[in-house]
Every structure is written in C-alpha cells, then in structure tokens.
Chain A
Amino acid sequence: MKRLKPTDVVIVGSGFAGLVMAKEIASRTALNVAVLERGPARSLEKYVEEMDEIDILRVGLGQNPAEQTITLRNTNKQTAVPLRLLALFHPGTGTGGASEAWAGFGERFLPEQMVLATHLREKFGAKRIPPDWTIRDWGITYDEFEDYYWRAEEMMGVSGKAGNLNGKLIPGGNIFEGPRKHEFPNPPLTPTYTMGFWYKAALALGYHPYPMPTAIASQNYTNPYGVSRPGCFYSGFCINHGCKTGAKAMPTSVLMPALENEKNFVLRNNSWVRKIVHRDGHAEGVVYMDENGEETMQPADLVVVAAFTPDSVRLLYLSGIGDPYDPNTGDGTLGMNLTHQVNGGGGGMLVFDEPLNLFMTTSSLSYGVSDFDGDLPEDVPEGVLRGGQFTGGAVQDYLPVMSFGRIPPGAAPRNWGSEWKKAAISYWDRIGPGVGMSMDTYPYRQNYMDLDPTYTDKWGDPLLRFTMEYTDYEQRQFAYAARMSAQFTQKIAEVSKAKLISTGPGGNGGGFRHYDGVRYKTTHIQGGAIMGASPDQSALNTWLQHWKTPNLFVVGSNALPQNAAGHPTTTIVALAYRAADGVIDHYLKRPGLIG
C-alpha cells in the first residue's frame, strides 16, 4: 500500500458539507487540508455543454450504480435486493457532490425541529406519539443555531423575503418561520406566469404565501469569501444539471473559487475512500483508491467524513467505528433513524387554454405556504400530528423529452400512435404545475441502515442495506396531503380558469403501500449517524463529533434525527459551519471530546 506524507486534516467528500469544513479550517488555521473526492472535477464551462437531457438521463452528475448501489428490503424478515438503477434518490459524485445538481431550495427548518421529541411530548402527551417512533431532540436549540443559519445563507446568497425579523412579523414573507436576525442576502427571484395563479389562490384561501427561499441568486452577488456570481438567467436547465453561470449556489460556484487560493488546501478527485484507519478510539487516517486505482494510505490528525449520507454511514460500518444499531433491542446507534422525506399531492391536472412557456424557469423558483407546516391549527380527520409545507406555482424544469407526451388521462387511447401524438402536441406547454406538500418524516425503530451480507461494490466492499417501510402513519400523511392539495388545486382552477382534470393520489408515496426503490422521492435521505446530547442515544455530539472517536467528525444530513418538511440543504450547511467552529474553536484548542 502506498503511504502518503501525513496531513493535518483529511476530508472525505467535496459537497457543501466537506468544502465548508475545508474552507473554514484552511482559512482560519494554518493546518493542511486534503479533500478526497470520489468523482471527477466539475466546472461551469462543462455545464454549458450539458444543456441536454439525454446524457443527464443516463447518468449525469450522479453516482453510477454499476459501481455501487444500495440494497433494499421493507422489513428485516426479508432478504434485501439490490437497486440496479438509482432512481429513488440522486446521490451525486464529482466535485460538489449532490450539491451541484440540487434544486436550490434554501429555507430553514422550524425552531421546534431541534427539540421535536420534547415538543411533541409536551403538546400531545407520550400516549399519542406512535410507540415505534425514535424521534430525538438535537441537543441544541434554534436560538443557538440561528447565527449558523445566517452564515449558510450569506455564503450561498439565498434569495427570499423575511417573514419574521427579530420577532416582528412581516407580511409577504413566511410569518411562520423562526425569528431571523437579518433580511435575506438577495431579494426573491422573478415569478413565472403560472406562479401568479398559485399566489392568488393561496390568498383567496386565507393562506400566507411567500417566495420560497432559494439558493439561486436573483442578482449579482458577492459572498463573504469574496466569490462573485451573476443573478439567475432562468434557462430551465437547473435541477439535475450544474448551473452554467453559477447563479445557483453550488460548491463549484460559491466555495471552490475561494478555496483555490488557499495554499494549505488540496482537492484530490477520483479518490475513493474505503476505510478510516483507527486504533483505541483515535482515527489515524483513511485508505483510498487513488486515480490510478492504487490503494493509498493518507495519515491525518483529524478526519472529517462528509460524503452523501448513505456513503458516510457505510464508511463508518466498513471501518468498524461505532456500535451497530440493533432494531430488536434498540442498542447501538450506527445506522439508526434512517428517514426519507415523504411528500404528497394529488389535486389533479390543471389544463390551460393559453401556452405557459413552462421552459422559462429555474428549479427552486416557487411560492411556499406554511400555514399547515409544523403544528396544525386544529386536529384533522387523518389524525396526523403535524402538517406540511406547500411548495409550488412553477415547474422545476420543462424540457422536451421529459414533457412530450404528458397528457391528461383518457386524452388518447394509448401512449403511442397518431391520436397520442396529436394529443401530445396539443397539450404540450399547457398543463400547469400541480400542488404538492412535503411533510415531516419520522424515524422508526424498524427503519435503519446496515451492511448487506451478500452484495458488494466494485471494490468488493459490502453495499449499504436499507430496511425501510411505510406505516399506517405515512399513509395518513399522504391522505392528508391529498385532501389539502385537492382543495388548493380547485382554487387555482377557479382563479386561473384552467380546466381541472382528476388524476388520483400524487406525491412520492400516495397510493402506494410499500416504500419502493423505483420512483424518485427526494434526495433527502437522513440519519444513520445522528447527533444528540448523550452517547447512548446518538453516534455524534452536537458538534457532529463522534462520541467514541473524538478526532472524527461526521458532517451531513446523517446527523439529523428526523426529517423535517423543509428542504435540508441550508440546515446541512449551517451544521457544517457549527462543526467547523467545533473543530477550530474547541477541538484544536483542547483535543478530545468537546464538553
């Protein structure tokens, strides 16, 4: 095995979490930082040449499942099966990871997310909380976290409008959000034509719509690292694509230009980490396959794991770090609290007479409605404890391959032939965006990650196995979202004069009994190595420091004990800033567990 010269800090993964850690450590200390990234380098110049659907459809910026996938089973009585295509979420690879191809939604979580276990117990009493939920408090509160949110928003240049500035509610913003100390760094994006109807309908229903915070800059913006980028051009090649102007905050557009000037920073692409080497509760470095396929040891004083959540969790398993979770006894913490965000919809299809120019858009351009997010104003027939967040009004993308042939049910006898072609041409660009609601998604005792006993990746290392199933509670969430979405969609039809055509349950789970590995849901996979206040309840402390290996930090959505209705990226970036402070302000001054 090749053995490299030791470095001070080695970071696994170059997504937002890894590169925020790298940037903070490299610029605030004199330590040498090496980032190991499994995939190739990415660049805005290359993204221009990827304004196309076919290559993105085949593999795009995602991980190639031929190299590594996950296996899935619904219960631990079953034998897991490999997902031969990675359709249900989109793990990224290459510089920037999944944060290159993301949509860009930039909202914060509600304050009670950080103390959810306590909050629900106080509100409902222990009896109404399903007994198999393993919800946890984070161990820190929103107030302690607010400044980290702001640092994330400032770095990414989030566009939006504040609805709660220091406790003062501001109409037009999200008045249900936690208090923020600053207005957003950039004003909201320009709304599309269809968003006007969504907004009007929301107002007509007495809701409080607001421009969704988005990490897509609405104007020229320079972040605190001195990195400048232009405002959005609305070209519509955004989600699943890299942004060719960098208007969408991506590690390559908001962090790499600053990192490239740091002399104590190096990024090594095509470097696949297979193991963290450790002894007696101390990490000694990582072993990886370098760009030539040579097994290489990189010794380091501090190890940061910041890969995509399932990959970070798998690396801990492969390295034998932490106690594997046992769903039967509840012992162990590694792999627990696997969640994958649910969302629901199903109000029907809105067919317009006029053309909508849906291809003029960007991926997270939308309005939000949070009147039902978090605590519900009143009990609902479906019996869910909390509601969800409506997001919509515009489509995320509308490109010709994916959109041609999207027609109302019954508009053609089959999905090919002359009649279908005629309908496909006629309905193209006339079916408006529907209504969907994303919801809190709770961890269960029986849902977890561990290593698969049979299937392996291209190096022969075991794949990660998901054991995951919907319960009656998620079905009630889908039903709730379907009912609420139907009401909203009906109102949009009224204010827009669009024809409403019924389509049945929508969203990522509505109408399906089992959690499946086929249909895309979100890329919001969370848990596996969660944060918390005590080592018997969590793998990490609130600084994302590993309880049993203090010179190891595991940074990413692996740390989130439960899945909030909101999109998680701003929260992940904020957690990375806090972990960086943990390293720089605490750990380096007094190596050991931060107490």
Chain B
Amino acid sequence: MKRREFILFPAKALGGAVLYSLVGELISADAEDRVKVPLRFFTEEEAKIIQAAAARIIPTDECGPGATEAGVVVYIDRQLASGYGTDKYRYTKGPWVEADETIFGYQGRSTPQDTYRAGIGLLGKDFTALSPEEQDRRLEKLERTRFFQMLRDHCVEGLMCDPMHKGNKNMVGWKLIGYPGPQLSYIAEMEAYPGKAYRVAPQSLSQILGHPVKPVEDETKPIL
C-alpha cells in the first residue's frame, strides 16, 4: 500500500482547529507548531514543488496573501485525487486521433493526474531550491504547455473556491477582492448599493447554511 504522504504548513497560516475539523482527517501540530496535512495524490516532494510553483503564479506580496496562504496545493491535491483527476468526466474511448485542438478540443490521453506528474518532471526536482526569479524563468518556458495552463487555472480556483474544497483558507481569496460569499439574497442590497461597494466579511457556504457541505471530491461512491 502507498505510504501516507503529508505536507507541512505553519499552523498559524492555516487558521486553526475549526477549519481542520472540516477536512475530516486527523491533523496534529508538531513541536514547531506545524500541521501535517495528509495528501491524497501528491507525494510530499511533489506537493512542495507544486506549492512553490503556485506561489509564483499567485505570489504572496504587498497586495496580500497568495496561493500559499490559500492552501492552493491542498485544493489541487484533492481535485487530482477525485474523479476529475482520472478523467471520470471526459470521454476516453478510442480510437485516439490527432485533430485541430482549436476546433475539437484536447484529444490526448493524459488525465489531469498524468499531466501533473509530467509537469512536475518538467519543473524539476530542484525547483524548490531555485530563487524566485529562476523559478519564474522556468515557468515562463512552460507557459504554453497544457500542464501550465491547468496549473494556472487551478491556482485561481484554489484561491477563489468555497473553502469546503480546501482552498481559499480563511477565505483569504474572497477577502482580497471583497466577495461576500454565497449569500442567499441581495434583494435589499441591490437597491441600497447602486455603484457603491457592498463589501462585508465573507461567509462560506457551510457558515451560511449552518451545516457542513460535502464537495464532490469527498464523495466515496464511484462516479461511473
């Protein structure tokens, strides 16, 4: 059986116990107050490489938190371990042919899991040891690859998704832009805020509904 893999985060950056009870997995802080998040798809080494790349795509900077604080790598790990990662939502019958992708879409056999494994190889085992500038140069070389485009989109998803997907931790992404979360009604606000910012502290879906909500990637029953 596969060895259990974890990624370490500073406990403070991850927002504490309440959030982690939502993960539904055993989390404990170590002596240096770091928490171990169990990984479902990545190895620890892979997770660190993706985390480093995500931190260049959406950096932590003077504008505020980025992919690291949002926990984007955990979001991606969960997505890749789900049916999406193994193409349970894509037609995968042959024959496989080459065709103009601008008309027919991607016709290759790579699943998102395959694409990441290959992409991590392109980033290189030494990626985490590079300087930010060197990391940017390596990412620039990959900009046109399917892997990079997927990673870039997943970073935005992991920053802006509902926290039930394990990204957007503490709703740092929503706070960056002032998105209030999935409110049930804007009847009063529509008329009260014409051309004026409606920016309230965000609430996640489970906070608004008052009960936990299970995302598709946590479903245990097979999709097909």
Chain A interface (Cβ < 8 Å from any Cβ of B): 48-49, 51-55, 57-59, 64-69, 72, 74, 79, 81-85, 87, 190, 192-193, 196, 233-237, 244, 354-357, 359-360, 400-401, 404-405, 414-418, 421-422, 425, 428-429, 454-456, 458, 514, 516-518
Contacts and interface: CB of A to CB of B under 8 A. Distances in A.
Given A84-B107, A354-B196, A360-B189, A400 B93 contact: no
Contact of A401 (B63, B161, B184): B161
Given A233-B187, A418-B63, A404 B197 contact: no
Of B83, B184, B199, most A-chain CB atoms within 10 Å: B184
Contacts of A514: 103
Contacts of B95: 454
Interface of B: 56-59, 61, 63-64, 66, 79, 83-84, 87-93, 95, 97, 99, 101-107, 136, 139-140, 143, 152, 155-157, 159-162, 164-165, 173-174, 176-180, 182-187, 189-191, 193-199, 205, 208-209, 213, 215-216, 223-224
A404 B159 contact: yes
A89 B9 CA distance: 41
B161 A83 contact: no
A466 B89 CA distance: 21
Nearest to B195: A354
Of B93, B95, B155, B159, most A-chain CB atoms within 10 Å: B93
A376 B224 CA distance: 51
Nearest to A232: B187
A359 B179 contact: yes
28 contacts: A48-B209, A51-B205, A52-B215, A54-B165, A58-B83, A58-B84, A59-B216, A64-B223, A65-B91, A81-B99, A84-B90, A84-B106, A354-B195, A355-B199, A357-B197, A359-B180, A360-B193, A360-B198, A401-B157, A404-B159, A404-B160, A414-B140, A416-B58, A429-B177, A429-B178, A516-B103, A517-B104, A518-B102
Contacts of B92: 66, 84
Nearest to B54: A416
A455 B185 CA distance: 45
Nearest to B214: A49
Of B89, B173, B208, B213, most A-chain CB atoms within 10 Å: B89
Nearest to A357: B198
Contact of A55 (B63, B208, B215): B215
A58 B165 CA distance: 13
A196 B195 CA distance: 11
B57 A66 contact: no
B195 A235 contact: no
B179 A400 contact: yes
A192 B97 CA distance: 47
Given A72-B104, A81-B107, A405-B156, A233 B57 contact: no
A462 to B, nearest CB: 12
Contact of B102 (A67, A458, A516): A516
B173 A400 contact: yes
B103 A404 contact: no
Contact of A417 (B56, B178, B216): B56
Contact of A54 (B89, B161, B177): B161
Given A51-B205, A55-B216, A359-B179, A85 B105 contact: yes
Contacts of A74: 103
Nearest to B173: A400
Given A52-B165, A83-B104, 6 more contacts: A74-B103, A233-B186, A235-B185, A401-B157, A429-B177, A518-B102
Contact of A418 (B61, B161, B199): B61
Contacts of A58: 83-84, 89, 216
Contacts of A55: 215-216
B177 A235 contact: no
B89 A64 contact: yes
Contacts of A355: 178, 195-199
Contacts of B136: 417
Contacts of A455: 93
Contacts of A85: 89-91, 105-106
Nearest to B183: A235
Contacts of A518: 101-105
Contact of A233 (B87, B91, B184, B216): B184
Given A55-B215, A354-B195, A404 B63 contact: no
Contacts of A516: 102-104
Contacts of B193: 193, 357, 360
B90 A49 contact: no
